[in-house]
Protein backbone atom coordinates (compact mmCIF):
# COMPACT_ATOMS: atom_id res chain seq x y z
CA UNK A 1 0.00 0.00 0.00
CA UNK A 2 1.42 3.32 -1.06
CA UNK A 3 -0.20 5.50 1.58
CA UNK A 4 2.01 6.16 4.62
CA UNK A 5 0.23 9.16 6.16
CA UNK A 6 -1.69 8.90 9.45
CA UNK A 7 -5.16 7.51 8.77
CA UNK A 8 -7.83 9.07 10.99
CA UNK A 9 -10.85 7.31 9.48
CA UNK A 10 -12.05 4.95 6.79
CA UNK A 11 -15.23 6.28 5.24
CA UNK A 12 -17.43 4.01 3.18
CA UNK A 13 -18.08 5.49 -0.23
CA UNK A 14 -15.09 7.81 0.01
CA UNK A 15 -11.88 6.12 1.19
CA UNK A 16 -9.30 6.63 3.87
CA UNK A 17 -9.09 10.08 5.46
CA UNK A 18 -5.49 11.06 6.16
CA UNK A 19 -3.96 14.15 7.76
CA UNK A 20 -0.83 16.23 7.33
CA UNK A 21 0.20 19.33 9.24
CA UNK A 22 2.94 21.55 7.80
CA UNK A 23 3.29 24.33 5.23
CA UNK A 24 0.68 24.18 2.49
CA UNK A 25 2.95 23.33 -0.44
CA UNK A 26 4.64 20.59 1.59
CA UNK A 27 1.21 19.18 2.45
CA UNK A 28 0.35 19.02 -1.24
CA UNK A 29 3.61 17.18 -1.93
CA UNK A 30 3.09 14.71 0.88
CA UNK A 31 -0.48 14.00 -0.16
CA UNK A 32 0.57 13.55 -3.78
CA UNK A 33 3.46 11.25 -2.88
CA UNK A 34 1.15 9.12 -0.73
CA UNK A 35 -1.37 8.70 -3.51
CA UNK A 36 -3.90 10.97 -1.77
CA UNK A 37 -5.58 14.20 -2.80
CA UNK A 38 -6.46 17.29 -0.79
CA UNK A 39 -10.00 16.97 0.51
CA UNK A 40 -12.79 19.00 -1.08
CA UNK A 41 -15.44 20.80 0.98
CA UNK A 42 -17.98 18.26 -0.25
CA UNK A 43 -15.86 15.28 0.81
CA UNK A 44 -15.07 16.91 4.15
CA UNK A 45 -18.80 17.36 4.79
CA UNK A 46 -19.45 13.75 3.75
CA UNK A 47 -16.69 12.47 6.06
CA UNK A 48 -18.05 14.51 8.97
CA UNK A 49 -21.55 13.15 8.49
CA UNK A 50 -20.40 9.55 8.12
CA UNK A 51 -18.14 9.53 11.21
CA UNK A 52 -20.31 11.40 13.71
CA UNK A 53 -20.45 8.59 16.27
CA UNK A 54 -17.04 7.11 15.50
CA UNK A 55 -13.85 8.97 14.56
CA UNK A 56 -15.62 12.33 14.54
CA UNK A 57 -13.84 13.89 11.54
CA UNK A 58 -14.08 17.68 11.66
CA UNK A 59 -15.90 17.88 14.98
CA UNK A 60 -13.06 19.72 16.73
CA UNK A 61 -10.49 20.53 14.02
CA UNK A 62 -11.02 22.16 10.65
CA UNK A 63 -8.98 21.66 7.50
CA UNK A 64 -7.60 23.29 4.40
CA UNK A 65 -9.52 22.22 1.32
CA UNK A 66 -9.06 21.98 -2.42
CA UNK A 67 -11.42 24.93 -2.93
CA UNK A 68 -10.39 28.57 -2.97
CA UNK A 69 -11.42 32.17 -3.56
CA UNK A 70 -10.19 34.72 -6.07
CA UNK A 71 -10.38 38.49 -5.74
CA UNK A 72 -9.82 41.47 -8.01
CA UNK A 73 -9.93 45.21 -7.36
CA UNK A 74 -13.50 46.49 -7.15
CA UNK A 75 -14.99 43.09 -7.98
CA UNK A 76 -17.07 40.50 -6.14
CA UNK A 77 -15.12 37.46 -4.87
CA UNK A 78 -15.23 34.25 -6.89
CA UNK A 79 -15.44 30.79 -5.36
CA UNK A 80 -13.68 27.93 -7.13
CA UNK A 81 -14.31 24.29 -6.23
CA UNK A 82 -10.78 23.59 -7.42
CA UNK A 83 -8.38 26.37 -6.48
CA UNK A 84 -5.51 27.29 -8.78
CA UNK A 85 -3.36 26.99 -5.66
CA UNK A 86 -3.70 23.20 -5.88
CA UNK A 87 -0.89 23.55 -8.42
CA UNK A 88 2.37 22.95 -6.56
CA UNK A 89 4.26 25.82 -8.23
CA UNK A 90 1.49 28.25 -7.41
CA UNK A 91 1.27 26.87 -3.87
CA UNK A 92 4.97 27.57 -3.28
CA UNK A 93 4.50 31.16 -4.44
CA UNK A 94 1.52 31.58 -2.12
CA UNK A 95 3.48 30.24 0.85
CA UNK A 96 6.38 32.57 0.04
CA UNK A 97 3.99 35.55 -0.07
CA UNK A 98 2.44 34.57 3.25
CA UNK A 99 5.89 34.42 4.81
CA UNK A 100 6.20 38.08 3.84
CA UNK A 101 2.82 38.60 5.57
CA UNK A 102 1.17 39.26 2.21
CA UNK A 103 -1.73 37.72 0.35
CA UNK A 104 -0.53 35.95 -2.78
CA UNK A 105 -1.55 37.71 -5.97
CA UNK A 106 -0.63 37.63 -9.64
CA UNK A 107 0.43 40.63 -11.70
CA UNK A 108 -2.90 41.12 -13.46
CA UNK A 109 -6.60 40.37 -13.20
CA UNK A 110 -6.30 37.82 -16.02
CA UNK A 111 -6.97 34.84 -13.74
CA UNK A 112 -9.97 36.55 -12.16
CA UNK A 113 -11.39 37.38 -15.58
CA UNK A 114 -10.95 33.77 -16.71
CA UNK A 115 -12.80 32.58 -13.62
CA UNK A 116 -15.55 35.14 -14.20
CA UNK A 117 -16.13 33.76 -17.72
CA UNK A 118 -16.19 30.25 -16.32
CA UNK A 119 -18.70 31.29 -13.67
CA UNK A 120 -20.99 32.77 -16.34
CA UNK A 121 -20.86 29.49 -18.28
CA UNK A 122 -21.59 27.52 -15.11
CA UNK A 123 -24.74 29.56 -14.51
CA UNK A 124 -26.40 27.31 -17.09
CA UNK A 125 -25.77 24.27 -14.88
CA UNK A 126 -27.59 23.16 -11.72
CA UNK A 127 -25.77 24.52 -8.62
CA UNK A 128 -24.51 21.04 -7.65
CA UNK A 129 -22.70 20.80 -10.99
CA UNK A 130 -21.04 24.21 -10.88
CA UNK A 131 -17.33 24.56 -10.26
CA UNK A 132 -17.06 28.36 -10.23
CA UNK A 133 -19.53 30.85 -8.79
CA UNK A 134 -19.49 34.60 -8.14
CA UNK A 135 -20.25 35.41 -4.51
CA UNK A 136 -22.92 38.06 -3.80
CA UNK A 137 -20.97 40.25 -1.39
CA UNK A 138 -17.51 41.59 -0.67
CA UNK A 139 -18.32 41.41 3.02
CA UNK A 140 -18.99 38.39 5.21
CA UNK A 141 -22.39 36.80 4.59
CA UNK A 142 -24.45 33.70 5.36
CA UNK A 143 -25.53 30.86 3.09
CA UNK A 144 -28.54 28.79 4.11
CA UNK A 145 -31.82 27.30 2.89
CA UNK A 146 -33.27 30.80 3.10
CA UNK A 147 -30.54 32.73 1.31
CA UNK A 148 -27.92 31.82 -1.28
CA UNK A 149 -28.84 28.12 -1.33
CA UNK A 150 -27.25 27.90 -4.79
CA UNK A 151 -23.88 28.69 -3.17
CA UNK A 152 -24.47 26.12 -0.41
CA UNK A 153 -25.04 23.50 -3.11
CA UNK A 154 -22.09 24.62 -5.20
CA UNK A 155 -19.78 24.31 -2.20
CA UNK A 156 -21.08 21.04 -0.74
CA UNK A 157 -22.69 19.45 -3.81
CA UNK A 158 -24.91 16.46 -2.99
CA UNK A 159 -24.12 16.82 0.72
CA UNK A 160 -25.67 20.30 1.02
CA UNK A 161 -29.09 19.23 2.32
CA UNK A 162 -27.70 16.68 4.81
CA UNK A 163 -25.03 19.05 6.08
CA UNK A 164 -27.52 21.88 6.48
CA UNK A 165 -29.73 19.60 8.59
CA UNK A 166 -26.67 18.74 10.70
CA UNK A 167 -25.02 22.14 10.97
CA UNK A 168 -27.38 24.83 9.72
CA UNK A 169 -26.29 28.06 7.94
CA UNK A 170 -22.65 28.56 6.95
CA UNK A 171 -20.91 31.95 7.31
CA UNK A 172 -18.44 32.88 4.57
CA UNK A 173 -15.64 35.31 5.42
CA UNK A 174 -13.73 37.12 2.68
CA UNK A 175 -10.67 39.38 2.47
CA UNK A 176 -11.20 42.99 3.54
CA UNK A 177 -12.17 45.21 0.59
CA UNK A 178 -9.43 47.76 1.24
CA UNK A 179 -6.79 45.03 1.06
CA UNK A 180 -8.21 43.71 -2.22
CA UNK A 181 -8.42 47.19 -3.75
CA UNK A 182 -4.82 48.02 -2.83
CA UNK A 183 -3.45 45.84 -5.63
CA UNK A 184 -4.16 45.27 -9.34
CA UNK A 185 -3.71 41.52 -9.71
CA UNK A 186 -5.72 38.44 -8.80
CA UNK A 187 -5.53 37.51 -5.12
CA UNK A 188 -5.89 33.77 -4.45
CA UNK A 189 -6.61 32.04 -1.15
CA UNK A 190 -7.25 28.47 -0.02
CA UNK A 191 -10.64 27.83 1.59
CA UNK A 192 -10.45 26.77 5.25
CA UNK A 193 -13.42 24.67 6.40
CA UNK A 194 -13.66 25.28 10.13
CA UNK A 195 -14.75 22.50 12.49
CA UNK A 196 -18.34 21.84 13.51
CA UNK A 197 -17.55 23.14 16.99
CA UNK A 198 -16.21 26.24 15.22
CA UNK A 199 -19.59 26.72 13.48
CA UNK A 200 -18.28 25.25 10.22
CA UNK A 201 -17.27 28.73 9.07
CA UNK A 202 -15.83 28.96 5.55
CA UNK A 203 -12.75 31.18 5.66
CA UNK A 204 -11.72 32.66 2.34
CA UNK A 205 -9.17 35.09 3.77
CA UNK A 206 -6.55 32.76 5.25
CA UNK A 207 -2.98 34.01 4.95
CA UNK A 208 -1.49 31.23 7.06
CA UNK A 209 -0.34 28.82 4.37
CA UNK A 210 3.21 29.19 5.67
CA UNK A 211 2.19 27.93 9.12
CA UNK A 212 1.89 24.32 10.25
CA UNK A 213 -1.82 23.73 9.95
CA UNK A 214 -4.06 20.79 9.18
CA UNK A 215 -4.88 19.51 5.74
CA UNK A 216 -6.93 16.38 5.35
CA UNK A 217 -6.62 14.21 2.31
CA UNK A 218 -8.52 11.33 0.75
CA UNK A 219 -6.79 8.10 -0.19
CA UNK A 220 -8.98 6.14 -2.58
CA UNK A 221 -8.32 2.42 -2.46
CA UNK A 222 -8.27 0.39 -5.62
CA UNK A 223 -10.90 -2.32 -6.08
CA UNK A 224 -8.23 -4.94 -5.48
CA UNK A 225 -7.30 -3.33 -2.14
CA UNK A 226 -10.94 -3.02 -1.15
CA UNK A 227 -11.55 -6.68 -1.92
CA UNK A 228 -8.60 -7.67 0.26
CA UNK A 229 -10.10 -6.01 3.34
CA UNK A 230 -11.50 -8.31 5.99
CA UNK A 231 -15.26 -8.17 6.40
CA UNK A 232 -17.11 -7.67 9.67
CA UNK A 233 -18.21 -11.30 9.39
CA UNK A 234 -14.57 -12.41 9.25
CA UNK A 235 -13.61 -10.33 12.29
CA UNK A 236 -16.57 -11.70 14.21
CA UNK A 237 -15.52 -15.23 13.30
CA UNK A 238 -12.04 -14.77 14.79
CA UNK A 239 -13.38 -12.94 17.84
CA UNK A 240 -15.69 -15.88 18.48
CA UNK A 241 -12.77 -18.26 17.97
CA UNK A 242 -10.70 -16.37 20.56
CA UNK A 243 -13.56 -16.65 23.03
CA UNK A 244 -13.72 -20.40 22.44
CA UNK A 245 -9.97 -20.73 23.00
CA UNK A 246 -10.27 -18.65 26.17
CA UNK A 247 -13.02 -20.89 27.57
CA UNK A 248 -11.34 -24.11 26.49
CA UNK A 249 -13.88 -24.92 23.79
CA UNK A 250 -11.19 -24.71 21.10
CA UNK A 251 -7.56 -25.90 21.22
CA UNK A 252 -4.68 -23.43 21.73
CA UNK A 253 -3.33 -24.48 18.35
CA UNK A 254 -6.13 -22.40 16.81
CA UNK A 255 -4.31 -19.25 17.97
CA UNK A 256 -2.04 -19.61 14.94
CA UNK A 257 -4.94 -19.04 12.55
CA UNK A 258 -5.94 -15.93 14.53
CA UNK A 259 -2.35 -14.69 14.43
CA UNK A 260 -2.13 -15.28 10.66
CA UNK A 261 -5.39 -13.38 10.12
CA UNK A 262 -4.28 -10.35 12.18
CA UNK A 263 -0.86 -10.21 10.54
CA UNK A 264 -2.51 -10.24 7.13
CA UNK A 265 -4.69 -7.29 8.11
CA UNK A 266 -1.71 -5.42 9.59
CA UNK A 267 0.22 -5.90 6.36
CA UNK A 268 -2.79 -4.65 4.41
CA UNK A 269 -3.03 -1.46 6.50
CA UNK A 270 0.69 -0.72 6.33
Domain boundaries, the chain: 7-223, 230-269
Report how far residue 239's alpha carbon sits from residue 233's, in angstroms, rounded to the nearest whole number. Answer: 10
CB-side exposure of 268: number of CA atoms within 13 Å?
A: 15
β partners of residue 132: 80
Q: What is the pLDDT of residue 222?
A: 53
What percent of the chain clears pLDDT 70, i.e. is strictly above it?
90
Q: What are phi and psi of 128, to 5 degrees?
A: -65, -25
pTM: 0.81
pLDDT of 1: 45
Kindly tell me the burial class for residue 47, based on how many C-beta atoms sit within 10 Å of its own C-beta (0-12, 13-18, 19 or more): buried
- How confident is the model over 143-153, as pLDDT tens digits? 999 999 999 99
Amino acid sequence: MKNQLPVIARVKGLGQIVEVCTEYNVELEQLRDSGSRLISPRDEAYARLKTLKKEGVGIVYGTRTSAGLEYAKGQLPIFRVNSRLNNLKMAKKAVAANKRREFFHTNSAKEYEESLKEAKRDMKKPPKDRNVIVLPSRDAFIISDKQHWDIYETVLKDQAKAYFEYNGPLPIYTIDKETVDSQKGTIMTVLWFRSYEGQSILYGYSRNLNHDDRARGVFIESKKQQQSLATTKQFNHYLALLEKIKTGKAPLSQLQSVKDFLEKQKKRLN
